[in-house]
Structure 1
Amino acid sequence: MSKRYVVVDLETTGNSWKDGKDKITQIAAVVVEDGEILEIFSSFINPKREIPPFITELTGIDESMVKQAPLFQDVAPMVVELLQGAAFVAHNVHFDWNFLTEELRQAGYTEVHCPKVDTVELAQILLPTADSYKLRDLAKQHELEHDQPHRADSDALATAELFLQFLNEIEKLPLVTLQSLYELSDVFQSDIADVLSENILKKMMNGRKAAEGYEVYRNIALRKRNYALNLSETCSSKFDAFLHKAIDNLKLNMPKFEKRESQQIMMKEIYTALRDSRFSLIEAGTGTGKTLAYLLPSIYFATKKEEPVIISTQTVQLQQQILEKEIPLLQKIMPFSFEVALLKGRKHYLCLHKFEYALQEEEKNYDMALTKAKILVWLLQTETGDRDELNIPEGGKLLWNRICSDVHSPGGMQSNWYSRCFYQRAKNKALFADIVITNHALLFQDFSSEEPLFASCEHIIFDEAHHIEEAASRTLGEQFSCM
């Protein structure tokens, strides 16, 4: 990485840069070259106007701090010199670039041209599953020091360190991924074609067509997946002894856990219903701890009898909560291993066959191009292909509707992607799991399908069972009119 970059952050009196309506109050620039920070420049700027109170509250910059500071025209020659032959980098680059070039224009510098790189956009591409792309959140995620958000010096340094990490991540991408990103780069807001082409050339010269941990199939790089199935262990203890030990372990691992009689009654009732293959209807009041109350006996029963138990919820959000919160805790405290599968509706999963063809289309829409780029990087990370992992821009949801798995996705051996199909893998995992977490709508759809996945499963727990009638009517019912 030999290119020179200047990472800039500005604080201003407002958001209106046109015709100098708002002015710069602080500027910071960090020079990056050869993977290192070489120089840091920072200065308050006298805007020659009042700083609004809400800006002072946001940035901590008041008029006393800029009263003796230089005017922008005094630092303009240094700024122009720094930018000479460099690429301009910022977090939300158009804001800083527009403000800076307007101030430079008013200072007499009208011919300032630089390639521009937006670290927001880079973060969106390289961190496709991140919940937030705010600088403060990204700095925290990457364990970067960022003591004074909304101050130009702290923001610029954090952005520079983040940018260096992004450059390193780009270097690690497989050749085919870099080539696909390069094909999309004309639509990006950042001028990153040079960075991509430089890394493509390096990999071609070194003969590195795929990085470790990836496989390349039909010109798309994917995370290598472990297709082996883990075998669960059989529980040998009696249920009461198991329950006593599990509750003791919960106390050790959950400081706020309280032993509740109502929860234990519910656990024993659920286990008895599963064991005796009978129906049980339970109303669990607030604070019962119902999720743990049905998971513990279900896991014990499934591993003891080697028969799966389906946990059906009303919402996908609750499915995800069980998988990400309760299941890891129980896997930690259980004296034996057990397998869990999460199964969502088919449209939650990426169809690789459709995505392959979508990549071959020329893309002019920004949100579509950005979403394709995010998916290319995500495929190096995901084991599930589940759309809920992705942070997709609003416009990209239209693309997802075109490339998600559905009844029109080619199935069986007629698809080149069958052995790597995310939806097929999710179904296969569910077939061999002890606990299958799904939702009411999908479960009723399965019951009515020609080849039901859960046809042989006799043990189902409906969480939020008061929604069953609505879900069944919506999924299995038919509408007709007498008019």
Structure 2
Amino acid sequence: MNFFTWPALLVVDVEGNGMNPPDLVEVAALPVRQGRPDTSTAGAWLTKPRRPVTPFAARIHGLTNERLAHEPGWEEIADQMHTLLNSAWVCAHNAHVDYRVLSAHLPRWQPAGVLDTLRLAKATYPDLSKYSLDALIEHIRPDLSGAPAHRHRAPFDAYATAQLLIAMTAHYDTWNQLVAAAVPPGLPGALEPEQDPMLW
């Protein structure tokens, strides 16, 4: 695939406080340029949630109430996040979750489209028994030596998702084919039937 034809794309990951709906505690946005994650322009933010982090969530990502006590509130970083994401494409693993949470926190934000590596993996590797991020890392074995932080932190998971996306693009010839396989119905960027390359 010719990566130079890609639109602006950011791989995103969010971590929450364990409530439903969640308050954000960390957001990462990693641009993919020319077929590579661009860590030089990546963004990652910690934010103090309005409601406390649950013990269960803290055990998963390691972000405790004490750790976040002096971080800025969401309202202090929201404009910065909106400017970064702007109207670019975004990609996430199980993208419904990240899109729903980000949309709730950024009501004026509307991405050009949403790629989901979970949906893409099911189309690309239909015989796998599991499609979690860990299962795909085990199956694809991407190079994560440059990943920041650790698993279940937003910068690491965004980096891992970017590497999985790049690896799976080898199975698709064009951007439209990738979009047809990776954009969930109902989310921005879904092709109209007359645009779907699978129907040509």
How many equivalent pairs are there? 185
1:73/1:138 CA distance change after superposition, 3 Å? same
Unaligned 5+ runs, structure 1: 173-177, 201-219, 221-358, 360-483
Q: Match for 1:155 among 153, 157, 162?
A: 157
After TM superposition, list the pairs within 5 Å mapping 1:416-431 onto structure 2. none
Report the Cα distance in structure 2 between the residues aligned to 1:36 and 1:185, rounded to whole angstroms.
18
- Is residue 117–residue 192 contact of structure 1 (8 Å, CA) maintained in 2? no
1:15/1:32 CA distance change after superposition, 3 Å? farther
Report the Cα distance in structure 1 between the residues aligned to 2:26 and 2:45, rounded to whole angstroms.
6
Unaligned 5+ runs, structure 2: none
After TM superposition, list the pairs within 5 Å mapping 1:175-186 onto structure 2. none
- Is residue 135–residue 159 contact of structure 1 (8 Å, CA) maintained in 2? yes
Report what 1:58 is aligned to. 60
Report the Cα distance in structure 1 between the residues aligned to 2:27 and 2:184, rounded to whole angstroms.
29
1:32/1:192 CA distance change after superposition, 3 Å? farther
Report what 2:118 is aligned to. 120
| 2:78 counterpart letter in structure 1 | A
Deviation string, structure 1 residues 366-398 (Cα, Å, up to 9, x no partner)? xxxxxxxxxxxxxxxxxxxxxxxxxxxxxxxxx
Report what 2:88 is aligned to. 86
Is residue 10 from structure 1 mapped to residue 14 from structure 2 by the alignment? Answer: yes
**Per-residue deviation, 1:189:** 5.4
| 2:137 counterpart letter in structure 1 | A
| 1:24 counterpart letter in structure 2 | L
- Is residue 119–residue 163 contact of structure 1 (8 Å, CA) maintained in 2? yes
| Greater helix proportion | 1
- Is residue 46–residue 67 contact of structure 1 (8 Å, CA) maintained in 2? yes
| 2:24 counterpart letter in structure 1 | I
Indicate the structure (1 or 2) with the bigger Cα radius of gyration.
1
1:73/1:168 CA distance change after superposition, 3 Å? farther
Supply the RMSD in Å over aligned alpha carbons. Answer: 3.1
Report the Cα distance in structure 2 between the residues aligned to 1:86 and 1:186, rounded to whole angstroms.
14
Report the Cα distance in structure 1 between the residues aligned to 2:109 and 2:57, rounded to whole angstroms.
31
1:55/1:187 CA distance change after superposition, 3 Å? closer
**Per-residue deviation, 1:3:** 1.3
**Per-residue deviation, 1:187:** 7.2
Report what 1:99 is aligned to. 101
Report the Cα distance in structure 1 between the residues aligned to 2:160 and 2:132, rounded to whole angstroms.
12
**Per-residue deviation, 1:16:** 2.1
After TM superposition, list the pairs within 5 Å mapping 1:322-361 onto structure 2. none
Report the Cα distance in structure 2 between the residues aligned to 1:130 and 1:55, rounded to whole angstroms.
28
**Per-residue deviation, 1:188:** 3.8
| 1:11 counterpart letter in structure 2 | E
Report the Cα distance in structure 2 between the residues aligned to 1:192 and 1:165, rounded to whole angstroms.
21
| 2:35 counterpart letter in structure 1 | G
State the TM-score, normalizing by the size of structure 2. 0.79
**Per-residue deviation, 1:185:** 8.4
Report the Cα distance in structure 1 between the residues aligned to 2:169 and 2:76, rounded to whole angstroms.
33
After TM superposition, list the pairs within 5 Å mapping 1:379-418 onto structure 2. none
SS at match of 2:32: strand
Structure number with greater CO (CA < 8 Å, separation at least 6) is 2
Which stretches of structure 1, 4 residues or longer, exceed 4 Å deviation after superposition? 184-187
**Per-residue deviation, 1:36:** 2.3
1:168/1:74 CA distance change after superposition, 3 Å? farther
Report the Cα distance in structure 1 between the residues aligned to 2:154 and 2:43, rounded to whole angstroms.
10
Deviation string, structure 1 residues 89-115 (Cα, Å, up to 9, x no partner)? 11111111111111123xxxx353431
Report what 2:137 is aligned to. 139
- Is residue 6–residue 82 contact of structure 1 (8 Å, CA) maintained in 2? no
Report what 1:69 is aligned to. 71
Report the Cα distance in structure 1 between the residues aligned to 2:182 and 2:129, rounded to whole angstroms.
23
Q: Match for 1:48 among 50, 75, 78?
A: 50
State the TM-score, normalizing by the size of structure 1. 0.35
